[in-house]
């Protein structure tokens, strides 16, 4: 196949690149209101604020935000959602938005049908009420009431939007297993440290002891990563005290000064 002259950009490529290009800036008044209404954004440095604005603009440009069951979301609510979803991407970058296109938002916790086959081969079917869900190759789903509850108590260790975005990052390497895409050497170190801490945490939960970290983290390695990601942003001192090696990895992963 003949090569194009150096510096030449095909017209069709330029056209589609332009179509995908996010807005250059956000509404300054709405962004200022978002910064005030989302406490996790209060301490952002100017460079991180600029990077987050760029991610939020891209999110709002590329993702379809669909309110369900009569919920109405105005521009401020949509920017709140985008900001919370993009906060975990400050260190990882816009490539963390790959692989999905829609954010579904319910007014409150939503009910899903579950099935489980036990060790004896018996199928159990049941309903589960969720505040959020992230499909490996599908939409991200949030409860608006739970998002608002997280904003009202922002440093309690919970943030459903960050939890579900952690699952999206986890899935980018093709396996939702508690390890997001990382350089090979770091991936081995991460996997060893997370597995060791996950096993120890599961032992604590199984023994019936109260744990400082939400016991839901013992459900699976992927839930362990998502739950500890919530603590990284909303209760970092607690995570550092309870799981210093995990906290160190998450600081490196989510820290906006990190390069990969």
- Cα diameter, the chain: 68
Burial of 174-187, coded b for 16+ CB within 10 Å and e otherwise, reads: eebebbbebeeeee
Give residue-wise pLDDT tens across range 72-87: 999 999 999 999 999 9
DSSP category for residue 246: H
Question: What's phi and psi for 176, nearest 5 deg?
Answer: -90, 90
Query: How far apart, in whole angstroms, are the C-alpha atoms of residue 85 and residue 52?
Result: 10
Q: How far is CA 155 from CA 131, 151, 252, in A?
A: 18, 9, 20
The confidence score (pLDDT) of residue 216 equals 97
DSSP category for residue 101: -
The confidence score (pLDDT) of residue 135 equals 85
The confidence score (pLDDT) of residue 182 equals 96
pLDDT along the chain (260 residues), means of 10: 37 42 78 98 94 97 97 98 98 96 94 58 60 90 97 98 98 95 97 98 97 98 98 98 98 72
How many helices and strands (H and E) does the chain possess?
10, 6
The confidence score (pLDDT) of residue 17 equals 45
């Amino acid at each position: 196949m003949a090569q194009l002259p150096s510096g030449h950009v095909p017209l069709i490529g330029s056209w589609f690149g332009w179509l995908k290009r996010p807005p250059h800036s956000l509404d300054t008044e709405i962004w200022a209101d978002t910064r005030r209404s989302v406490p996790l954004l209060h301490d952002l440095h100017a460079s991180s604020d600029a990077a987050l604005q760029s991610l939020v603009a891209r999110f709002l440009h590329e993702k379809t935000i669909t309110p369900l069951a009569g919920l109405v979301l105005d521009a401020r609510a949509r920017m709140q959602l985008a900001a919370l979803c993009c906060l975990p991407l400050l260190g990882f970058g816009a490539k963390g938005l790959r692989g999905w296109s829609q954010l579904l938002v319910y007014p409150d916790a939503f009910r899903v049908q579950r099935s489980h086959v036990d060790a004896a081969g018996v199928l159990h079917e049941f309903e589960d009420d969720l505040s959020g869900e992230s499909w490996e190759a599908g939409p991200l789903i949030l409860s608006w009431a739970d998002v608002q509850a997280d904003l009202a108590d922002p440093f309690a260790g919970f943030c459903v939007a960050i939890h579900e975005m952690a699952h999206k990052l986890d899935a980018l390497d093709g396996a939702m297993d508690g390890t997001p895409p990382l350089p090979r050497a770091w991936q081995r170190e991460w996997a060893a440290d997370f597995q060791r801490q996950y096993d120890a945490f599961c032992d604590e939960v199984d023994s019936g002891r109260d744990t400082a970290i939400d016991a839901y983290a013992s459900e699976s390695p992927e839930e362990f990563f998502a739950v500890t990601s919530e603590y990284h942003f909303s209760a970092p001192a607690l995570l550092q005290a309870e799981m210093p090696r995990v906290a160190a990895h998450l600081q490196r992963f989510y820290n906006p000064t990190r390069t990969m």
